[in-house]
Amino acid sequence: MFVFLTIASLALQSPVADTSPFRALALPSASRVRSSSGAPGPDYWQQEASYAIRASLDTASSLLTGTETIHYVNHSPDALEFVWVQIEQNISAKNSVTYQLNQPPLHFAGGAVFDFTAKGFIGGITIDRFAAAGQELTRTEYGTMMRVELPAPLAPGAAIDFDVAWRFPVPPYGGGRMGRVGNRLYEIAQWYPRLVVYDDVNGWNPLPYIGAGEFHLEYGTYDVTLTLPAGYLVAATGTVQNPAEVWSPALRQRLEQAKTATDRVQVVTKAEATANGAHATAGTKTWHLTATNVRDFAWAASPDFRWDASGWNGVQINTFYRPNAAPWEEANRMARFTIQHFSETWRQYPWPHATTVEGLIEGMEYPMLTFVPSIAKREDQFWVLMHEFGHQWFPMIVGSDERRYPWMDEGFNTFIDYGAAEGYFKGTAYGDTVRRELLTAFQVSAIPGNEQPLITKPVEQRDLLWGAYQKPALMLTVLRDHVLGRETFDRALREYIRRWEFKHPQPADFFRTMANVSGRDLDWFWRGWIYTTARLDQAVDSVRAVGGDSTYVYLSNRGQMVLPVRLELRYADGSRETRQLPVEMWNLGDRFTARLATPKPVAGVLVDPMGSLPDVNRANNRWGRR
Ligand SMILES: [Zn+2]
């Protein structure tokens, strides 16, 4: 390449030092486990934890008692001398980190309140037995985590079966993620002892469950039996294996009808639900459920449930709700639209049913099952119901580490949620403008000195709504609309989902996949959005006509974040034109002269004409005539 002329102009640029926004990210080395393309490598491994659980609920005392066999397969190259087990009910034990700190509920900007305590309820789990091959194992509890010593090191490739017995009182309010309403509705999760993830990056991952951080779980199969009062209807992860024992012939016939129904079939009508709830049925009933390729298992039970069902592409769509839940007649249509939308846009929903239960939980996700409250405003009802189902893709299919990286869980989900809301409310003012609330959130939440990088752990985030949900959604929207274009972005994100379905991706796997599939080095983008709190301030400084056929537009990047620049040129004759300059414009520093070949005199220039970037100072985005 032959270069002349540019030496003088280079001297005018700010010096480019190792503070350049374009320097490479210091990512962990790729390996045969995680390859440099961002895909799982040829030696990728993850542990398997499969569960056979027998549990029974005493509704008089709300005590849940269970035994379980955990089949644990060590696919790692390491011999394991001990295992770590999660016992999350201890979040409400007297000596829990959560109770010792006694922190007030987390108030989100916008009014949402997250209380991760059990609101004063003292409970916790009792482990009555933790054995292998008939031998009780030594165990040490550390709050919500427990280390269990193995009788002999578990060799690579070997498996062990743990025999566990446990019980705990079900809290009325289990940190917003599980709980009950008296003994009329149980929403049960974080309920059985389960293995901590062991991986190639951190080894064991026993980060305590203290509230804001959600879950990081191994995949496996589940075989669960639940014994409850005979009048209770159960909704759960997994497929019912004994339908003739738990459902009446009429109910089974309606379910059959629902398989191909586009509109809800009332499997249990309001009148039937009211009648069921009004009388106590003697005795108990045992439900048998199985699930494959899931990372968790949750369930709900009530004698009061109404039940609507429909079908889409082989997936049974279920909505369970109490007879007086206000807007839930539409919930099944919302659920069906959501499952179809995410399936067609990102990846087919992989399990036989998608079920949501109306109740006290503000919104929580488990494989095949979500807990959602009844909300008066239709748009908000759709959002929460849809959002919890969005989690079937992140993190139920793509099993990211929620306890460290909420942006890969809540954030990715919130991004895809906007597409679903735009689809369901298409053509309405809400549907056409809902995504713009992310820019409003930016104004409210991206406060210098208070804002924290997205990479911050959830339990250390002061503004979880912004850092875990909204900013990642804005980030991916900007990446799609301003950097990669929709087609390239969608292809790369779909490929990320395909590569990491039912696996455990790390941030670097995501970055490498997006770069490899899009063909773009995006380190600068992730640095600005994830690893720093860089702010964007694009500006037009001046404009000068040169000769009769060129105009120089002098641009500057006054913040620390770099992005491509979109310019609207307004000509003297009243016409307008939009031009996009690639991000490489900032390669040499924070000033750039755009040399535009245009015979028409330029009367005005507007940077980011649609106002779609979080530019902190729009006053300098405009030059000349409006
Ligand atoms: Zn969520």
User: What's the sign of the alpha-carbon dihedral 89, 90, 93, 98?
Assistant: negative
Looking at residue 599, its pLDDT comes to 85
Looking at residue 626, its pLDDT comes to 64
Q: How far away, in angstroms, is 471 Cα from ligand 1 center?
A: 14
Tens of pLDDT, residues 533-570? 999 999 999 999 998 899 999 999 999 999 999 999 99
Looking at residue 106, its pLDDT comes to 77
CA dihedral defined by 615, 616, 617, 623, rounded to 10 degrees? -10
Tens of pLDDT, residues 396-439? 999 999 999 999 999 999 999 999 999 999 999 999 999 999 99
d(CA 388, CA 380): 12
Q: How far away, in angstroms, is 257 Cα from ligand 1 center?
A: 32
Q: How far away, in angstroms, is 391 Cα from ligand 1 center?
A: 7
Q: How far away, in angstroms, is 387 Cα from ligand 1 center?
A: 6
Q: How far away, in angstroms, is 405 Cα from ligand 1 center?
A: 13
Mean pLDDT (whole number) for 244-255: 98
Q: Which amino acid does the sequence have at 230?
A: A
Is the pLDDT at 195 greater than 90? The verdict is yes
Is the pLDDT at 168 greater than 90? The verdict is yes
Looking at residue 3, its pLDDT comes to 40
**How does DSSP classify residue 219?**
B
Mean pLDDT (whole number) for 24-44: 96
Q: What percent of the chain has pLDDT over 70?
A: 96
Instruction: Judge whether 422 and 382 are in contact, CB under 8 Å.
Output: no
- Adjacent-strand bridge partners of 50: 71
Q: Where are the alpha helices (DSSP H) in 227-319?
A: 243-246, 249-258, 270-278
Mean pLDDT (whole number) for 576-605: 95
Q: How far away, in angstroms, is 214 Cα from ligand 1 center?
A: 10
Q: How far away, in angstroms, is 392 Cα from ligand 1 center?
A: 10
Instruction: Judge whether 155 and 79 are in contact, CB under 8 Å.
Output: yes
Is the pLDDT at 101 greater than 50? The verdict is yes
Question: Hey, is 386 helix, strand or coil?
Answer: helix
Looking at residue 99, its pLDDT comes to 83
Residue 80's H or E segment, with its range, is strand 80-86
Looking at residue 255, its pLDDT comes to 98
**How does DSSP classify residue 394?**
I
Label each residue of 506-533 as H, E or C: CHHHHHHHHHHHHCCCCHHHHHHHHHCC
Is the pLDDT at 313 greater than 70? The verdict is yes
Q: How far away, in angstroms, is 450 Cα from ligand 1 center?
A: 23
Q: How far away, in angstroms, is 259 Cα from ligand 1 center?
A: 28
Tens of pLDDT, residues 616-625? 999 999 999 7
Q: How far away, in angstroms, is 406 Cα from ligand 1 center?
A: 9
Looking at residue 11, its pLDDT comes to 43
Q: How far away, in angstroms, is 147 Cα from ligand 1 center?
A: 29
> How big, in percent rounded to 5, are the helix, strand and coil portions of the chain?
30, 30, 40
Q: How far away, in angstroms, is 356 Cα from ligand 1 center?
A: 14
Label each residue of 324-375 as H, E or C: CCCCCCCHHHHHHHHHHHHHHHCCCCCCCEEEEEECCCCCEEECCEEEECCC
Q: How far away, in angstroms, is 568 Cα from ligand 1 center?
A: 37
Is the pLDDT at 468 greater than 60? The verdict is yes
Is the pLDDT at 102 greater than 90? The verdict is no
Mean pLDDT (whole number) for 58-66: 97
Q: How far away, in angstroms, is 136 Cα from ligand 1 center?
A: 38
pTM score: 0.95
Average pLDDT across the chain, whole number: 94
Mean pLDDT (whole number) for 145-149: 97
d(CA 319, CA 309): 6
How long is the chain? 626
The two three-digit tokens of residue 545, written as one number: 């006509």
